[in-house]
């Protein structure tokens, strides 16, 4: 089990699950905001599992259904420790792992029993896969009228592209993000993480909570939350649509600057380090110019508002570049802080581990890997003042909770042994 630095690990459960006991004000699981919700995850890799991870962190009972043949491929992605991805231990925290062979009738029957009692199903199969298993929405809604079904896919459940495979990278491209990312004289670039999947997961959780509120407050039935990865990105594209529709304006790649909003960019210090400065507020810009000794620009009436500054963008960025390049990064940050100008060094993971703000906000949870080795993982977001989320155990071993989940469904030891012998689990 996992805790912020103020908590201690008191006992060890089986395999990778580590049980925490609070020394401070840790909330019991029953007091978390999603306590009492049953979530079934039929997902792999990023979008679906990230959505259910958020539910698990805030108290939902999440059962992750995996194939007995290796489980979620994320278990083997990126950096491995003792054969298991460190990413897996984070992405699957607080979840129970149940292995089901959905091609076996008994495996399918177990899944139906789970779904008959569930509040939310989260899945990110290609559209049509569940229908081929006999688990389309009409069947599931008849089985459990209160069920909320979150469907995450590349292009949604309808439309001419619905059957095409689509990963986050494709969603980022079709949704418009890749087109505007990078420098104008070079091809588009990607962000360093799978941002399309993660944004889609957040929309999925938002949709699920909306559907639950409708069910519980308005007396409504369960419903489908249909999230397409490209639409999740498209929804974040700010003023792109009206600017094109009204003016025919197509936003292009502009490197590190924020187009139409000046100044906001990345600059290089004398010691070769980088700083993001956002001085695009009118009063902030004036303070910024004063602290760097450019009273002429601080008091220039044309630069008192954003439209005037943006029309002289190259001049302003030249001034800032020269100033930042004349000082070491620490001096730049110190002066900008004195003037209340929003700025930040460009943080690496190494910078984060020693940063006072990260530490004060408990953004690193101290955990243990299955062999007892200590490691840190990201803290919980968002921070709720009365019912905070937390991490009770790291990502489980494949099928770690088979017996527990099946016993809760009413299966006895002999039945579970037979299911295992028959290849259903």
Enzyme catalytic residues: 197
DSSP structure string for 35-91: TT-EEEEE--SSHHHHHHHHHHHTT-EEEEEE-TTT--GGGGSSSEETTEEHHHHHH
Is there a contact between 365 and 377 (Cβ–Cβ < 8 Å)?
A: yes
- Taking alpha carbons only, the member of 398, 403, 388, 410 closest to residue 6 is 388
* DSSP 3-state percent helix, strand, coil across the chain (nearest 5): 40, 15, 45
Q: Count CB atoms within 10 A of the CB of residue 308.
A: 14
- The C-alpha torsion from 162 through 167 and 172 to 175, rounded to 10°, is 0
CA angle 378–379–380, rounded 5-degree value? 125
Is there a contact between 387 and 32 (Cβ–Cβ < 8 Å)?
A: yes
User: What are the two backbone dihedrals, phi and then psi, of residue 231, each rounded to the nearest 5 degrees?
Assistant: -75, -30
Collapse the DSSP code of 298 into the 3-class scheme (helix H, G, I; strand E, B; otherwise coil) and give the result. helix
User: What is the DSSP pairing of strand 274-278 with strand 264-268?
Assistant: antiparallel
Collapse the DSSP code of 293 into the 3-class scheme (helix H, G, I; strand E, B; otherwise coil) and give the result. coil
H-only helix segments in 218-294: 229-234, 240-247, 282-291
Record the tokens describing residue 284, joined without a space: 């902030």
């Amino acid at each position: 089990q996992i805790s912020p630095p103020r908590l201690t690990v008191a006992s060890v459960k089986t395999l990778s699950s580590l049980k925490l006991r609070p020394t401070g004000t840790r909330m019991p699981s029953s007091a978390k905001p999603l306590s009492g919700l049953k979530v079934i995850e039929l997902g792999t890799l990023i979008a679906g599992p990230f959505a259910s991870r958020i539910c698990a962190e805030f108290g939902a009972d999440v059962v992750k259904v995996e194939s007995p043949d290796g489980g979620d491929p994320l278990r083997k992605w990126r950096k491995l420790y003792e054969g298991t991805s460190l990413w897996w231990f984070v992405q699957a925290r607080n979840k129970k792992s149940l292995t089901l062979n959905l091609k076996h009738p008994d495996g399918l029957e177990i899944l139906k029993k789970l779904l008959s009692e569930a509040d939310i199903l989260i899945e990110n199969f290609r559209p049509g896969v569940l229908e081929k298993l006999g688990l389309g929405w009409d069947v599931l809604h008849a089985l459990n009228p209160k069920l909320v079904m979150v469907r995450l896919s590349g292009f949604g459940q309808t439309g001419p592209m619905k059957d095409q495979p689509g990963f986050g990278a494709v969603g980022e491209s079709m949704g418009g993000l890749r087109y505007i990312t990078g420098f104008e004289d070079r091809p588009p670039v990607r962000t360093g993480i799978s941002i399309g999947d993660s944004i889609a997961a957040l929309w999925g959780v938002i949709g699920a909570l909306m559907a639950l509120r409708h069910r519980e407050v308005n007396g409504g039935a369960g419903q489908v939350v249909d999230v397409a990865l490209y639409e999740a990105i498209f929804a974040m594209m700010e003023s792109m649509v009206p600017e094109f529709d009204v003016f025919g304006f197509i936003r292009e790649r502009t490197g590190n600057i924020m187009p139409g909003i000046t100044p906001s960019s990345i600059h290089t210090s004398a010691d070769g380090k980088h700083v993001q400065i956002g001085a695009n507020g009118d009063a902030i810009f004036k303070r910024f110019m004063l602290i760097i000794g450019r009273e002429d620009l601080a008091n220039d009436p044309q630069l008192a508002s954003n439209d005037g500054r943006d029309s002289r963008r190259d001049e302003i960025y030249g001034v800032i570049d020269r100033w930042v390049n004349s000082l070491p990064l620490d001096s730049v940050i110190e002066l900008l802080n004195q003037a209340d100008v929003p700025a930040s060094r460009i943080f690496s993971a190494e910078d984060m581990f020693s940063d006072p703000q990260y530490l004060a906000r408990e953004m690193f949870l101290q955990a243990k890997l299955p062999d007892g080795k200590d490691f840190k993982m990201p803290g919980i977001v968002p921070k709720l003042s009365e019912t905070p989320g937390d991490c009770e155990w790291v990502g489980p071993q494949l099928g770690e909770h088979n017996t527990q989940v099946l016993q809760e469904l009413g299966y006895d030891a002999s039945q579970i042994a037979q299911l295992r012998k028959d290849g259903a689990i």
